[in-house]
Structure 1
Amino acid sequence: MMISSWRRRRAAKRQGKQQRNGNGEIELTVPIEFRCPISLELMKDPVTLSTGITYDRDSIEKWIEAGNFTCPLTNQVLRSLEPIPNHVIRKNIQDWCVENRSHGIERIPTPRVPATSMEVSDILSKIDVARKKQDGKGCRDLVAKIKSLAKESERNKRCIVSNGTGGVLSQAFQAFSMASSFDENDDVLEEILSALTIMFPLDVEAKGFLGSASAMQCLIWFLSSGDLSRRRNAVLGLKQLVSSSSDLPRKVNELSETEGAIEALFKLIKDPICPSSTKAALLIIYHTITSSSTKEKQVRKLVNSGIISLLLETSVDAERSICEKALGVLDGICDSEEGRQMACDNALSMPVLVKKILRVSDLATEFSVSVLWKLCKNGDMENHRSVVLEALQVGAFQKLLLLLQVGCGEKTKEKVSEVLKMLNLHRNRIECVDPMDNFKDLKRPF
């Protein structure tokens, strides 16, 4: 009798029939043919492999992306890694959901068909043809289609990127930027650049096209425009170029020698659009003042524009990555005499630098110590004494001693030891205070 009852329950479960639990509540079991063999959950997007076994798309794609090329259920080698949508099972699942909606089962919506390698390759071929014909409108429409597909899902984006879309779009950007006036291809260039940001990071070939003279000129032109999205996309594109070690000096020189480029980057920090554009602008400026053949000229331009105050104000409450980059730029600026003098004259310099030691990250600490070291060694005896006394007043001596105890890199340790020796000579001349007190009455213009 017990065996007979158990068999009835098992048969009912297989058929998805309703059973009542001990409290009299209805339990609804999902039919086994509607469950994914991997997740054992109701399939939302059933797809069939070359072995004839059906899985939920999300589960089987994760299986394949993990490096497996066999069917999980049969262990047979897959003849194709492109799963085929199983419309029959999907329709049956949807019908079952509708039949049981009174039990809280929601109908699974018909999923969008994901992009395939063949579909992406076809669009890219058409973009190449439009590029060669200089068909701006046709190219813009095709790029918009690629962008729309990429935004639909991460799966689509991976498929698009893996088919070399970055290189094709970069080459198209280069081709349309070679017109006598950027205004002629304004719309298509903007659409290509917008789509390219989805493809980042770019490979070497794509960076080669985007780093051409005409393409860089166009990026800088966008950077100086009033449109926020153009400026954001342009600075992210330029960041791709300067992030590559190959041919960095040439790209940085071209950028720094272009009229209005440095001013546009400064404006992105002063009037931020988003964190990513601020980080990109800081990184590009850092490379400009450390790798450019005209770095002295660029530093002078930045100092005169008020970069020191801006960097210090940005560092006060910025997130870790922005703070690191701002302190890195400040460190590069302080390699120049003008930069050091301007930093010494700024009331925020010592409080911010001391506060950031051991508070943000190892990199921020290294930059803070480096700037502190440069400022303490700066100028004549009177300036030196003034800077050292200010550093003592905000608690630099105690902070640097703590840093030695905690531990740091050899170069940083050497600078810390040297600064401590300078500070120690004047310790009896001033009473040290908590560096946090220096921020109590600080009026922030940001």
Structure 2
Amino acid sequence: MISSWRRIRRTRAQGVKVDAAAEVSVPTHFRCPISLDLMKDPVTLSSGITYDRESIEAWMDAGNRTCPVSNMVLRSLDPVPNHAVRKMIQEWCVENRLLGIERIPTPRIPISQSDAREMVTRVASAVERKDWGLCKEMAAKVHRVVKESERNRRCVRSSGAGAVLARSFEELSRTSGFEENSSALEEILSTMTAILPLGCDAQSSLGSADSLRALAWLMQSGNLSARRNSVLSIREVVSGNKQRVSALSLTEGSTSALLKLIKEPICPVSTKSSLVVIYYMVTLDHPLREKVASEFSNAGLVSLLLEALVDADRSVCEKALGVLDGMCDAEEGRKSLILHPLASPLLVKKLLRVSDLASEFAVSTLWKLGRVDKGGEERFLGEMVELGAFQKLLVLLQVGCGDTTKEKATELLKSLNARRETMSECNDNHDFGVLKRPR
């Protein structure tokens, strides 16, 4: 025991995180039979076996209706808190505190379905009376409950909280001067984000013109949390719904707010969500697409995305390349890419380096930029040859790709081949050394 304590002190002095429970011998009856870890919230099933709540609820959520240890069919799926074992564990933690064991906190009792429905009903009642102060207070209470545990979150979601909160947000957005109640909007939005994904009714309410206007305003002018939650909610609302994408495109300030999230990133999640929303907007099969792409292009989106591609991770690369591919369907977006000095080097570089999806988007973008006959496009094709695009496209066809990508790559190769004989190519051999032919 002394040697263990000395080892803990020595590793802590070196800045190494120590798992104290692994160093100290934990009594067997304090360990969860499923996870084998020290129980933080011991509960007993109708079989008489005690487990940690998180582990046994995950077991039952998987569809199991038997006790994992005894294999007995459970008469009740409601675990009962074992206060006696929990107190014994807490006392043991206190006794071993000098060995680095922290006392487990007394767990909160999870809310019941009836408790969740009551809170949701009070939110709805506050909305009917236009009492936005009470609405904010109740939304904050729901949010606190949701953050306590995953079980609470599921319970609140199943009580219909998403639809009620979305209606509250929509009603408040309809009021004149809703900006004065921005704190209530932010609290409602924060609670909704905590219980994502939302149902159809909630998405319908958030997809209204008033709600989108308020979301765009919060995305532009709210605090960091509100801006993040706004774009997450918008992504949830417009996903796969062309009508709502069109409505968002017509919402004043939406394009500048989305662009701001890329120019001034808050977190990876918000950046990726904004890219997904922009992708929906620039690939919309609607006359608005040209207008939206022009707005993004004039605001400098192409430059931002190309700069982000330099050292972006896989997910951001895929989404950024998807947006650039969509921008090429509009005249302004295509011109911005043709004239940008980083366009051809980065698009060629991303071929075969990120993922199959990224390569498909890169090929599609290069194909759209290189299929125009005259002008700056000729220069663009020449740059592609110098950058080794011809050989990369050949390798792409050899390792395999989708039919549409294969057709575009083949057409590009024909255009590039006519320029190869008079131009020197830059062949970066290490790009292809790790590739293997498919079996």
TM bracket, shorter-chain basis:
0.7 to 0.9
**Which residue pairs with 1:389 in the alignment?**
382
Where in structure 2 are there 5+ consecutive unaligned residues?
1-23, 431-439
Query: Closer, same or farther in 2 for the Cα pair 1:186/1:425, shift >3 Å?
Result: same
CA contact (8 A) 1:197 1:237 kept: yes
**Which residue pairs with 1:418 in the alignment?**
411
**Which residue pairs with 1:213 in the alignment?**
209
Query: Closer, same or farther in 2 for the Cα pair 1:98/1:184, shift >3 Å?
Result: closer
Question: Secondary structure at 2:213's aligned position in 1?
Answer: helix
Deviation at 1:165, TM superposition (A): 2.3
Deviations 1:420-439 (A, max 9, x none): 111111111111114699xx
- 2:403 equivalent to 1:407: no
Where in structure 1 are there 5+ consecutive unaligned residues?
1-26, 438-446
CA contact (8 A) 1:179 1:185 kept: no
- 2:349 equivalent to 1:355: yes
**Which residue pairs with 1:81 in the alignment?**
77
Amino acid paired to 1:150: V
CA contact (8 A) 2:290 2:331 kept: no
C-alpha distance in 1, partners of 2:220/2:389?
A: 41
Query: Closer, same or farther in 2 for the Cα pair 1:364/1:129, shift >3 Å?
Result: same
Farther off after superposition, 44-53 or 206-215: 44-53
Deviation at 1:51, TM superposition (A): 4.9
C-alpha distance in 2, partners of 1:69/1:186?
A: 46
C-alpha distance in 2, partners of 1:37/1:276?
A: 36
**Which residue pairs with 2:58 in the alignment?**
62
CA contact (8 A) 1:344 1:387 kept: yes
- 2:324 equivalent to 1:340: no
Deviation at 1:358, TM superposition (A): 0.6
**Which residue pairs with 1:308 in the alignment?**
302
Query: Closer, same or farther in 2 for the Cα pair 1:347/1:104, shift >3 Å?
Result: closer
Deviations 1:403-435 (A, max 9, x none): 111111111111111111111111111111146
CA contact (8 A) 2:321 2:362 kept: yes
**Which residue pairs with 1:11 in the alignment?**
none
Query: Closer, same or farther in 2 for the Cα pair 1:76/1:354, shift >3 Å?
Result: same
**Which residue pairs with 2:232 in the alignment?**
236
CA contact (8 A) 2:370 2:412 kept: yes
C-alpha distance in 1, partners of 2:104/2:225?
A: 36
Amino acid paired to 1:297: K
C-alpha distance in 2, partners of 1:386/1:403?
A: 23
Query: Closer, same or farther in 2 for the Cα pair 1:76/1:140, shift >3 Å?
Result: same
- 2:27 equivalent to 1:30: yes
Question: Secondary structure at 1:255's aligned position in 2?
Answer: helix
Aligned residues: 406
Deviation at 1:364, TM superposition (A): 0.9
**Which residue pairs with 2:264 in the alignment?**
271
> Which of the residues 213, 219, 222 maps onto 2:218?
222
Deviation at 1:88, TM superposition (A): 2.9
C-alpha distance in 2, partners of 1:290/1:343?
A: 16
CA contact (8 A) 1:177 1:185 kept: no
C-alpha distance in 2, partners of 1:230/1:43?
A: 36
Query: Closer, same or farther in 2 for the Cα pair 1:258/1:421, shift >3 Å?
Result: same
> Which of the residues 177, 191, 196 maps onto 2:192?
196
> Which of the residues 405, 421, 428 maps onto 2:421?
428
Structure whose CA Rg is larger: 1
C-alpha distance in 1, partners of 2:327/2:163?
A: 36
**Which residue pairs with 2:369 in the alignment?**
375
Question: Secondary structure at 1:425's aligned position in 2?
Answer: helix
Farther off after superposition, 266-275 or 402-411: 266-275
> Which of the residues 133, 142, 147 maps onto 1:151?
147
Deviation at 1:159, TM superposition (A): 2.9
C-alpha distance in 2, partners of 1:385/1:233?
A: 44
C-alpha distance in 1, partners of 2:79/2:246?
A: 49
Query: Closer, same or farther in 2 for the Cα pair 1:79/1:123, shift >3 Å?
Result: farther
CA contact (8 A) 1:340 1:378 kept: no
Query: Closer, same or farther in 2 for the Cα pair 1:339/1:379, shift >3 Å?
Result: farther
Farther off after superposition, 107-116 or 414-423: 107-116
CA contact (8 A) 2:43 2:81 kept: yes
Deviation at 1:225, TM superposition (A): 1.1
Over aligned residues, Cα RMSD in angstroms? Answer: 2.6
Amino acid paired to 2:298: N
**Which residue pairs with 1:173 in the alignment?**
169
Farther off after superposition, 369-378 or 96-105: 96-105
> Which of the residues 316, 325, 329 maps onto 1:331?
325
C-alpha distance in 2, partners of 1:207/1:426?
A: 52
C-alpha distance in 1, partners of 2:300/2:319?
A: 17
CA contact (8 A) 1:355 1:435 kept: no
Question: Secondary structure at 1:239's aligned position in 2?
Answer: helix
Deviation at 1:256, TM superposition (A): 1.3
CA contact (8 A) 1:351 1:435 kept: no
C-alpha distance in 1, partners of 2:100/2:268?
A: 43
Query: Closer, same or farther in 2 for the Cα pair 1:311/1:152, shift >3 Å?
Result: same
Deviation at 1:48, TM superposition (A): 2.8
**Which residue pairs with 2:312 in the alignment?**
318
- 2:253 equivalent to 1:260: yes
Q: TM-score, normalised by structure 1?
A: 0.83
C-alpha distance in 1, partners of 2:295/2:101?
A: 66
C-alpha distance in 1, partners of 2:390/2:376?
A: 18
C-alpha distance in 2, partners of 1:124/1:195?
A: 12
**Which residue pairs with 1:441 in the alignment?**
none
Deviations 1:191-228 (A, max 9, x none): 00011111122121211121122212211121221532
**Which residue pairs with 2:19 in the alignment?**
none
Deviation at 1:171, TM superposition (A): 1.9
Query: Closer, same or farther in 2 for the Cα pair 1:266/1:30, shift >3 Å?
Result: closer
Deviations 1:111-151 (A, max 9, x none): 23233323222211211211212221112111112212222
**Which residue pairs with 1:117 in the alignment?**
113
